[in-house]
Amino acid sequence: MTANISAPTGTGAAPGEGRPRRRRLLLGSATDITAILLIIVVVFSVADGGSFLTLENLSNILISASLLIVMGVGATLVLITGGVDLSVGSVLVFSGVVSGMVMRAMGGQGVGVSLVGVLVALAAGTAWGIVNGLVVTRLRVPPLIATLGSFGAAQGLAQVLSDGNDLKDIPNELVDTLGVGRLAGVPYLVLVALVIALLGGVVLAVTRYGRRTYAIGSNAEAARRAGVNVDRHLLSVYALAGTLAGLAGILSYAEFGSTTLSGHATDNLNVIAAVVIGGTSLFGGVGTVFGSVIGALIPAVLSNGLVIVGLNSFWRDFAVGVVLVIAVYLDQLRRRHRAAG
């Protein structure tokens, strides 16, 4: 039995409503959090008196948010299905280590070595994502526990493979492009993040894959009865999240020139926080990539702005925590309103 699966944004669309509907799917209900981001930007702009709203500083903000944006796209898909992935930061590290070891074994320099390194990082991340998906769909282990186990396992295996030492054998070609390179003044790191975000947003908004992702998060059993192979779809979602974590791994390696084994300990929670702050529901069925991008920009803007105005950057964690709680509370209010209506 087959049926047409659509995202849970309404029961139907009258002629002429297709574009507004797609716009809602692309942008979602991220208006509130976008307004908060703009308020933060205005406050720092007024408080600083000039250096915050410069092109160079805005570029720095985008660079610092890029890795979160890349991983956030995958995390958005996972959360929309009603799952969670707490392993992305560790998979980032693992992918960077495996890629670094392969590039070192190949001589450490050259365009060919760089391309192989990128492919290895993507493959390593995808493999770990598939493992997560199989544990969730075949062994029926709850996603929280499955990915929490992967969080420790991936980090531990990265430490074992590298003997606990950061790898620094990275081709100059990777550093000069993905690390510090620019195209028309825009860092390649930012361009990659924006392309990934755009592709992820379009996939969620206008493709069958996106509709099925929303349908599973809204009601997995109903999606299954409508002909969706739920387990296969979930496996692909976790694999994609792993792929993007692997991409973040090689981007991080290129940016810092090192695998930074201990530098991503909080990435797992930071990614989830960014996605939830951006309006993706912890309960599944609701979310947009656009919202996740805004959610990733908020901690980056806070960190940057606090330093510029001379305040302790630790206040960022406090502010992000408050915004996260507010975002979850508003999500619960929306759910109650929909249930009552």
What residue ranges do the domains of the chain occupy? 28-43+50-340
Q: Which ranges of the chain does DSSP label H, i.e. alpha helix?
A: 18-27, 31-48, 55-80, 88-105, 111-137, 143-162, 172-174, 188-206, 208-218, 220-225, 230-256, 267-277, 289-308, 315-340
Query: What six digits make up the tokens of 42?
Result: 């205005």
Segment 204-224 shows an average pLDDT of 97
What does the pLDDT read at residue 8?
46
Query: What six digits make up the tokens of 30?
Result: 């991220």
Question: What single-letter amino acid sits at 183?
Answer: L
- Per-residue pLDDT reduced to its tens digit, 240-294: 999 999 999 999 999 999 998 988 888 998 999 999 999 999 999 999 999 999 9
Q: Please state, in angstroms and rounded to a whole number, the distance separating the CA atoms of residues 16 and 25.
A: 16
| Residue 27 confidence (pLDDT) above 50 | no
**Cα 99 versus chain centre, distance:** 20
Report the largest interatomic distance among the alpha carbons of the chain, rounded to a whole angstrom: 64
Fold designation for 28-43+50-340: ABC transporter involved in vitamin B12 uptake, BtuC (1.10.3470)
Question: What single-letter amino acid sits at 119?
Answer: L
| Residue 20 confidence (pLDDT) above 80 | no
| pTM, 2 dp | 0.89
Other Cβ atoms less than 10 A from the Cβ of 137: the count is: 18
Give the pLDDT band (50/70/90) at residue 89: very high
| Residue 341 confidence (pLDDT) above 80 | no
Q: What is the DSSP letter of 184?
A: T
Other Cβ atoms less than 10 A from the Cβ of 167: the count is: 23
Pick the closest to residue 83 from 285, 315, 316, 300 (CA basis). 285
| Residue 15 confidence (pLDDT) above 50 | no
| Residue 11 confidence (pLDDT) above 50 | no
- Per-residue pLDDT reduced to its tens digit, 315-326: 888 888 888 888
Q: Please state, in angstroms and rounded to a whole number, the distance separating the CA atoms of residues 261 and 46.
A: 38
CB 62 within 8 A of CB 37: no
Question: What single-letter amino acid sits at 21?
Answer: R
